[in-house]
Chain A
């Protein structure tokens, strides 16, 4: 591996996190440059979601550091990491079920809302401009994720695949530099996965870095620039997708060893 490139967007150094006696994540180090898709794969219980929670700030690491865009975010709470440009979705979909699809996305727009405090009570011109900005942004993102016609439906009433897409639209509303997706293809049919891959590629072309935790190997092999394999909370291998498929340790971790 090369020395830390100055262009690295996200840097994780020696991340550790235990739950009681279980070492969910142990000494994981990696970095990802901007404008790439970075995949994290591993068997169930390997610590992928814990790693994502450490990166997004839902959990604090026992040891190690997280740096993003040159800033050390290790002790930064989750809500403030969003301001730095980190957005995420959840493995178990966590939408605001009683709000419409539109309002879910609008809730994500407000992180960059900068209107004078008094305009929250006396709605003036800046307020109206901000509301219009949020409305347009939400409509654009819903259309991009293929939900243009479902804007006024309650999130809880959307189909499973639509909910996955809505979670991504909501995350994009925070105008991130890094989008972290926790198993975005879980539960999607083949057509929906294809649409997802399409959109992720568009996002990458627009300069967004995407970190994806995924079990769907087709998706990973199609879009990932680099793959990190973890097992029992430890890094097993990191490299381009083609090398991962050939790596004996990875095959052993997934399929068991030949005797």
Chain B
């Protein structure tokens, strides 16, 4: 980063409470209206994928952007959540929401176990270890055929059961609009929980660990325990995304959780801007929608997509968030361009 930016500290707790409340309200309103603006099944499907990717990205960002742990295992936690929710419901006959809670807990537990094993690793070494975990998980899903049916996949997974509230019409999640409301509502809830956490002393604690562990310990921070915590939370959120994925797509194959998924999620976080939650959420939406918008230009879309990614990383190391901040700063001071 250039020295000009370095004098601007990274701050999370800048937006006043009233503004944040208004933002949550706008987000909730947008979630309510979006499936009625985009009424086709194709775009409604994309909307749900956006919501899932937002969860995956903010979950990873909690580990990477705040605690500073380069975790490439997010695809595995996603997969563990998806398979756990499906198998708990299908094999054990558990109700969907209990299976879902179990999937979230199992994915979180997997994150805790991985971080315990990788305790002494950081940076590139942690990246390789977590990538190894993603490869192992993929291979287990592929080869434990008696449990997962391997490459044959699991079919006809029902969506979450219909919600019956007294005095209201039945909410059936076969309807993609309702399913979007459910998944996006949960994404917003995840965002709220993570946002509250990073605005609490936990946010400063994780950031201190990201910046330098030795002085963090000298301030009384138990770095090992907090890294385990961050991994647990980040992978639990990924597990929740997985739990919805199965019922949404209706089919589970291990290839959906191949390691490339980890890199896609990483790209969303980096393009959006690590170390904030709004950045990776925006990055997830952009990198989900952009390839779809580019379908018109055929295979060239992969070139455009790759070039766009490279340009962002080269010229906006702080991601879209940095671009937005620079834009706002310029608007505030029209006479003094930087």
Contacts and interface: CB of A to CB of B under 8 A. Distances in A.
10 contacts: A58-B218, A88-B218, A90-B214, A96-B208, A103-B204, A107-B208, A110-B221, A120-B202, A121-B196, A174-B220
Contacts of B217: 57-58, 77-79, 82
A157 B10 contact: no
A247 interface: no
Contact of B219 (A103, A127, A173): A173
Contacts of A94: 212, 214-215
A159 to B, nearest CB: 12
Interface stretch (A148-156, A209-217, A226-234, A248-256): A148-156
B220 A153 contact: no
Given A110-B204, A120-B202, A152 B9 contact: yes
A99 B9 contact: yes
A106 interface: yes
B8 interface: yes
Contact of A98 (B10, B204, B214, B220): B10
A96 B211 contact: yes
Nearest to B275: A98
Interface string A78-110: 111011000110100011111110010011101
B220 A96 contact: no
B146 interface: no
A23 B215 CA distance: 25
A95 B212 CA distance: 8
Contacts of B197: 120-121
A243 interface: no
Given A97-B211, A107-B207, A107-B208, A153 B9 contact: yes
Report which residue of A88, A99, A119 has the largest number of chain B beta carbons within 10 angstroms of its beta carbon.
A99
Closest 5 CB pairs of A and B: A111-B220, A82-B220, A100-B9, A96-B211, A154-B9
Interface in B194-209: 196-197, 199-202, 204-205, 207-208
Contacts of A174: 219-220
Contacts of A153: 7, 9
B205 A171 contact: no
B164 interface: no
B222 A79 contact: yes
Interface residues of B, number: 30
Given A79-B223, A153-B9, A154-B7, A90 B207 contact: no
Contacts of A57: 217
A95 B211 CA distance: 8
B29 interface: no
B220 A154 contact: no
B18 interface: no
Contacts of B11: 100, 103
A58 B217 CA distance: 9
A80 B224 CA distance: 13
A163 interface: no
A56 B9 contact: no
Contacts of A242: none
A88 B220 CA distance: 11
A188 interface: no
B6 interface: yes
B222 to A, nearest CB: 5
Contacts of A87: 218-219
B6 A107 contact: no
B218 A56 contact: yes
Interface in A159-211: 170-171, 173-174
B329 to A, nearest CB: 15
B228 to A, nearest CB: 14
A22 interface: no
A130 interface: yes
B219 A154 contact: no
Contacts of B223: 79
A31 B9 CA distance: 41
B288 to A, nearest CB: 27
Nearest to A170: B219
A71 interface: no
Contacts of B7: 153-154, 157
B148 to A, nearest CB: 34
Contacts of A108: 219-220
Contact of A96 (B199, B201, B215): B215
A143 interface: no
Contact of A99 (B3, B10, B200): B10
A94 to B, nearest CB: 4
B303 interface: no
Given A113-B201, A120-B196, A154 B8 contact: yes
